[in-house]
């Protein structure tokens, strides 16, 4: 069979260089190829490894549920970074904003005693506001003193980390005998069907319905739905509202925005506030939905940094963040399984993700490779 290589190459070229979605898919594919090369070099069968990963994601309802739970905070931190990016700012601070969000959620979730339907919204809103202010601070530093947001957000990340550790050692908040905080009140817990799951009737029913039993074994919660709503909301605000117009104008060309009467400084602060709020929401949802408390952390957990990769893969598109977050969550969750099943290092997943980001960040490399080939082939 003779494949028309030249035609194919031309199609790939157009696909890769002119259609951003196509370009992203090619980058993901290339990332997987790089991972396969590493696996092969280390003496593992890449098809077997990718097979394990795929089965590890899809073969059981609980696996899918875990994947989604993993993806939820990444979608939100990805959104945070994508949002800032669309408005011309580089939010390295999602990490710290996430921490502030989770600390405030734990504090309000533990100290406040409120009825069920009120407690969760209060917890989430206070966490989101606090993280928004934390993010807005970086915007304020930039507007007022000209401190670049990359510098200030990195600094604020560390402040947030030590703030959390400090609180954990504070009496009244620290759970005696552990390096963790107390857990939030049951009224602040957002797990799906939490009480019913443990009731006698619930257990009876689940025994007869293995699909649901497996699914509800996980801390399945409403966080994913909230993340999707936020992605749609972010897309709507950016593209359909006057506020979004202002923010994008500042992001694309602050000189033209200033000329057009838009207050550049104010909008930078607003943008960083919203970015911080989104990352804080990720932290809050993680607490009310999954962890229910905060623990002592020795180093950054990486939710914010992974968010950068998610935003890059999504090309800073709000809806793309959902897909990129899911991809990322799936790779992380499923990828962990190649270690126990075939003793292959699960770090391969980091290599895959790193390569995808690499290929996406350098579209020119792909263009160059393809155009070189085109040249050799000559054009008609």
Partner 1 sequence: MGYKNATRSLTKVIEMKNITKKFGDFVALDSVNLDIFKGKVHALLGENGAGKSTLMNILYGLYYSTSGEIFINGEKVNITNPNIAIEHGIGMVHQHFMLIKPFTVAQNIILGREPISKMSVLNMKKALKDVKEISERYGLYVDPNAKIEDISVSMQQRVEILKALYRGAEILILDEPTAVLTPQEIIELIQIIKNLTKEGKSIILISHKLKEIKEAADFCMIIRRGKHIDTVVVSETTEEELASKMVGREVSFVVDKKDKKAGDEIFSIKDLVVKDNRNIITVDKLNLSVKKGEILGLAGIDGNGQTELLEAITGLRKIESGEIKINGNDITNKTPFQIINNKIAHIPEDRQKRGLVLDFDISENTILENYYKKPFSKKGILQYNNINVYANELIDKFDIRPKKASKMARTLSGGNQQKVIVAREITNDPDLLIAAQPTRGLDVGAIEFVHKSLIEQRDNEKAVLLISFELDEVMNVSDRIAVIYEGKIVGIVDAKDAEVEKLGLMMAGGGNK
Residues that bind partner 1 (CB under 8 A): 240-246, 248-249, 252-253, 255-263, 371, 374-375, 378-379
Shortest distance, position 249 Cβ to partner 1, whole Å: 5
**Closest separation in Å from C-beta 242 to partner 1:** 4
303-340 burial, b at 16+ Cβ within 10 Å, e below that, comes to bbbbbbbbbbbbbbbbebbbbbbbbbbbbbbbbebbee
* Contact by Cβ (8 Å): 206, 212: yes
Residue 173 CB, shortest distance to partner 1, in Å, is 40
Instruction: Give, in degrees to the nearest 5, the angle at Cα 252 between 246 and 257.
Output: 45
The residue (of 191 and 366) whose beta carbon lies closer to partner 1 is 366
265: enclosing H helix or E strand: helix 264-285
Q: Residue 238 CB, nearest distance to partner 1 (Å)?
A: 11
Q: Which is nearer to partner 1, 46 or 244 (CB)?
A: 244
Please give the sequence-ordered ranges of beta strands (E in DSSP) within 68-153, or none if there are none: none
Other Cβ atoms closer than 10 A to 149: 25
In the bound state with partner 1, the residue whose beta carbon lies nearer, of 238 and 327, is 238
Q: Which is nearer to partner 1, 246 or 332 (CB)?
A: 246
Give Cβ neighbours of residue 177 (< 8 Å, ≥ 6 apart): none
Q: Shortest Cβ distance from residue 374 to partner 1 (Å)?
A: 7
Count how many Cα atoms sit within 13 Å of the Cα of residue 195 in the half-sphere of its side chain.
Answer: 5
DSSP 8-state code for residue 184: P
* Least spacing, CB of residue 240 vs partner 1, in Å: 6
Rounded distance, CA 33 to CA 26, Å?
A: 10
Cβ at position 233, least distance to partner 1 in Å: 13
CB of 87 or CB of 355, closer to partner 1: 87
Q: Tokens 């509202």 label which residue?
A: 241
| Min CB(143)–partner 1 separation in Å | 14
Q: Which is nearer to partner 1, 48 or 371 (CB)?
A: 371
Q: Residue 197 or 254: which CB sits closer to partner 1? A: 254
Contact predicate 357/365, CB 8 Å: no
**For partner 1, which is the closer residue by CB, 62 or 374?**
374
For residue 366, which of 7, 23, 4, 11 has the smallest C-alpha distance? 23
Quick one: 257 or 344, whose CB is closer to partner 1? 257
Task: Tell me the closest approach of the beta carbon of residue 100 to partner 1, in angstroms.
Answer: 28
| CB atoms closer than 10 angstroms to residue 232 | 13
Backbone angles phi and psi of 275, in degrees to 5? -60, -45
Positive or negative, the Cα torsion across 232, 31, 251, 155? positive
Task: Reduce the DSSP state of residue 174 to 3 states and report it.
Answer: strand
């Amino acid at each position: 069979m003779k494949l028309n290589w030249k035609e194919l190459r031309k199609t790939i070229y157009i696909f890769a260089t002119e259609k951003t979605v196509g370009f992203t898919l090619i980058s993901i594919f290339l990332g997987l190829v790089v991972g396969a090369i590493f696996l092969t070099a280390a003496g593992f069968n890449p098809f077997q490894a990718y097979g394990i990963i795929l089965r590890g994601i899809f073969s059981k309802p609980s696996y899918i549920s875990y994947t989604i739970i993993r993806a939820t905070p990444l979608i939100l931190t990805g959104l945070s970074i994508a949002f800032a990016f669309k408005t011309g700012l580089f939010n390295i601070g999602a990490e710290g904003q996430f921490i502030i969000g989770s600390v405030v959620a734990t504090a309000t979730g533990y100290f406040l005693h409120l009825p069920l339907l009120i407690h969760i919204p209060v917890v989430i809103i206070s966490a989101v506001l606090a993280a928004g202010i934390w993010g807005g601070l970086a915007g304020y530093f930039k507007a007022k003193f000209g401190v670049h947001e990359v510098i200030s957000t990195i600094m604020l990340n560390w402040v947030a980390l030590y703030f959390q550790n400090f609180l954990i050692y504070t009496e009244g908040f620290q759970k005696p005998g552990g390096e963790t905080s107390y857990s939030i009140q049951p009224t602040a817990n957002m797990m799906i069907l939490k009480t019913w799951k443990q009731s006698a009737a619930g257990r009876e029913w689940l025994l007869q319905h293995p699909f649901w039993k497996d699914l509800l074994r996980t801390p399945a919660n409403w966080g994913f739905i909230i993340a999707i709503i936020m992605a749609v909301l972010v897309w709507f605000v950016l593209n359909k509202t006057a506020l979004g117009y202002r923010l994008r104008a500042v992001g694309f060309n602050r000189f033209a925005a200033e000329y057009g009467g838009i207050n550049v400084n104010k909008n930078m602060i607003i943008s960083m506030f919203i970015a911080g709020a989104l990352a804080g929401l990720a932290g809050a949802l993680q607490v009310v939905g999954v962890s229910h408390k905060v623990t002592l952390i020795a180093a950054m957990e990486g939710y914010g940094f992974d968010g950068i990769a998610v935003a890059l893969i999504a090309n800073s598109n709000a809806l793309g963040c959902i897909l990129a977050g899911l991809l990322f969550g799936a790779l992380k969750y499923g990828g962990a399984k190649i270690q126990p099943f075939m003793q292959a290092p699960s770090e391969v997943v980091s290599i895959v993700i790193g390569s995808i980001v690499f290929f996406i960040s350098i579209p020119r490399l792909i263009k160059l490779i393809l155009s070189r080939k085109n040249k050799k082939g000559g054009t008609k």
